[in-house]
A and B are shown apart, each in its own frame.
Chain A
Amino acid sequence: METLVQTEVNTRQRGVLSKVYDFFSSVKLAVVVFFLLAAGSISGTLIEQGLSPQEYIANHGEKWYYWINLLSLNNVYHSWWFSVLLALLALNLAVCLSKRLPTIWKAYYVVDTDFTHNLVQNFKNNTVIQYPSGMEEARGKVVDILKGKKYKIWTENNPNDITIFAAKGRIGRLGSTIGHISIFIILIGAVLSSAIGFRGFYPFYEGESVFIPEGNFYVMVEKFWIDYYENGGVKDYFSKMSVIDNGKKVFTKTIQVNDPLQYKGVWFYQSSYGQAWDRLDKAFIRITDKKSGRVVADETLDFRKEKLIAGTDLRLNATNFLSDFAYDSESKQIYAKSGEQNNPAAELEIYEGGELIAKPWIFYNYPNMFPIEKSKYNFILSGYIAPQYSGLQIAKDPGVNLVWVGSFTLMGGLFISFFIFHRRIWIKILPSERSSLVYIGGLTNKDTIGFEKEMKSIIGSF
């Protein structure tokens, strides 16, 4: 009794399992996932990605932003649902492969020499030839013809007849399997890329060495320069870089767009250039007398270097700079809103009579917005020179190698799948009065028209 119940549970469990299995191996699931992936991808090209909430609200309105935010439409390709879809695709792929593999392997591997002439006549391409000599001669002829067509041949002499099985291009069967496994490999590589790969953008200033924790060494841009076309367009830009490992300069290379540097698996790509947004070479400060409005001095300050102003008891120091000044009222932090020179501002330490009397931010676009109460002078940021940085993309991505392996085998799989056809021919030779009957029939997995031509030519060669 107990065993009976047990079996029942087992079948029911198997019922659920096989339903799950059927679900994940169904072509319907593949079609739905493909459709959703395509729709999601398209939405990501139509809605701009990675903007700030304010920008979405300005472009689409509050109501739409609610949906954009809810469905992560501002970051489609990294959203949870896109990852789920990709995972479903991978699962579907794996289950389908496991389901189809035995059939494919059988078609690839099995040499079929156990059949009757009735079976031969069931093929779409089949014919019977009356060959005017004995069975052995007929077999010799068949083998010659098929060898000429580059077939691999198996023959078997039976008591009453001769069986011949011929096949070529059977590797073509494996193309689709190789292709699908390749896609799996590429997906794994992509997962590795996003899990352990690292990629970031860094501005480098000439002469500054920067520690690269991912490789435990230092790099330095010794020099950065731009070449121009005659019409003024940018032709190319270069960074002369050196790698410093263990305190020693290991090597130097000039990189440019399309010609990166690689050291210890870390790659450095020349990707852009621009003006610094958080530092200065020089700040030009105009000091005027509050009462008379007379210019007291035009001073050039080096960044973060105190300077005595001749003829006054002033000492000035430009301690900070932002190219696009912004203030976050929540965190009470000052930050650069962008890398553009939209709202340049410098922080100025003002010492009068040896005492720090104020440390205001002064704005290039809004001179004298906040006069210093304790001082008899006004301080104006009349100009500045910000250093140029060389923008480098730094990446270390072990996943990329798997992606290339997968890409390579994918191409191989596609090639053999599309251009190598598995053609099989079954032949039975039966005795007839002073001659023999050759039953010949064939199958191809692709390129039916080409195979029909080949069959005609084989039959015509008798």
Chain B
Amino acid sequence: MFNSFFFFDIIFWIYLAAACCYIFYMGIKKEGLGHLAFALTFIGWLLNTVVLVVRWYETGRAPYANLYETMVLLSWMIVAGYIAIELKYKKLRVLGAIIVSIAFLAIGAAAMLPYRYQAIEPLIPALQSNWLVLHVVTTFIGYAGFAIAFGLGIMYLFKERAERSGRKSFFDRFPSSEILDDMNYKFIAIGFPFVTLGIILGAIWANYAWGGYWSWDPKETWSLIVWFIYAGYFHGRLVRGWKGRKTAYFSIIGFTAVIFLYWGVSFVLPGLHAYA
């Protein structure tokens, strides 16, 4: 009964409750609700860890071999990133309304996968390698950074509009647009080197397993496109001095491409990377 699916179902509800608490906290400004939201998030994250560990035990290998398992890893990383934000900047608790919601959506999407995508399958020969752990973990730290930056970008757009109108609004409790903009940059600056490292480790692995570091398989090609988009973000920001709305839109477009790279390519475009 206490298998990984059991804990998975629990974190689904806990993350949902935490996200709701954060959203209400944004509106009704009771500190108690904020504490509750954080406590739920933290418990959810601990149980998220349990899912990964139990799954590791059940499969007898690193649990990063298919879409479902990597989604659990992704939500774990997003929430870990959020907990780090909340511990570092205690005043920015409202960010949970979006970031924990994104983590919940990741778990929700994993829950909606057909059973054959969730089932424990033995590893195919190509995946039996220590490179799997390195490649997947670095890539997903990158994805998590981009996911958080995406949430911050959306918040920026709302907040910036509210600031411009000058009226009191629902978004008053968001951090100032300047802080959101700065954090957006910081999380992309974390995500980008890790995704780059993930691509490089994937190339090293591919060279070791198949004898070629780059095969233009759809996953590889789309990872390059994502890389181009975020490289464009940095050039706009650091060379041309873009700030604010432009870069917020960029982080949203970039993450949309990440979603396609992660889900779209796996389902729509066939290739070497068919497992996830």
Contacts and interface: CB of A to CB of B under 8 A. Distances in A.
Contact of B228 (A34, A45, A190): A34
Contacts of A403: 203, 213
B10 interface: no
Interface string B229-241: 1011001001110
Interface residues of A, number: 47
B196 A38 contact: no
Contact of A260 (B179, B204, B211): B211
8 contacts: A234-B125, A236-B125, A258-B209, A260-B209, A269-B210, A271-B210, A400-B213, A449-B178
A414 interface: yes
B92 interface: no
B134 interface: no
Nearest to A189: B213
Central interface residue in B126, B213, B232, B265, by most chain A CB within 10 Å? B213
B221 A199 contact: no
Nearest to B200: A407
Interface string B134-172: 000000000000000000000000000000000000000
Given A38-B228, A260-B211, A27 B239 contact: yes
A415 B194 CA distance: 10
Contact of B238 (A41, A236, A419, A446): A446
B135 to A, nearest CB: 12
A233 interface: yes
A250 interface: no
B192 interface: yes
Interface size class of B (residues with CB under 8 A): 35 or more
Interface of A: 27, 30-31, 34, 37-38, 41-42, 44-46, 49, 76-77, 176, 190, 199, 229, 231, 233-237, 256-258, 260, 267, 269, 271, 393-395, 400, 403-404, 407, 410-411, 414-415, 418-419, 446, 448-449
Interface of B: 121-122, 124-126, 128-129, 131, 178-179, 182, 189-190, 192-193, 196-197, 200, 203-204, 207-214, 216, 218, 221-222, 224-225, 228-229, 231-232, 235, 238-240, 265, 269
A448 B182 contact: yes
A34 B178 CA distance: 29
Contacts of B240: 27
B67 to A, nearest CB: 18
B212 A231 contact: no
A449 B210 contact: no
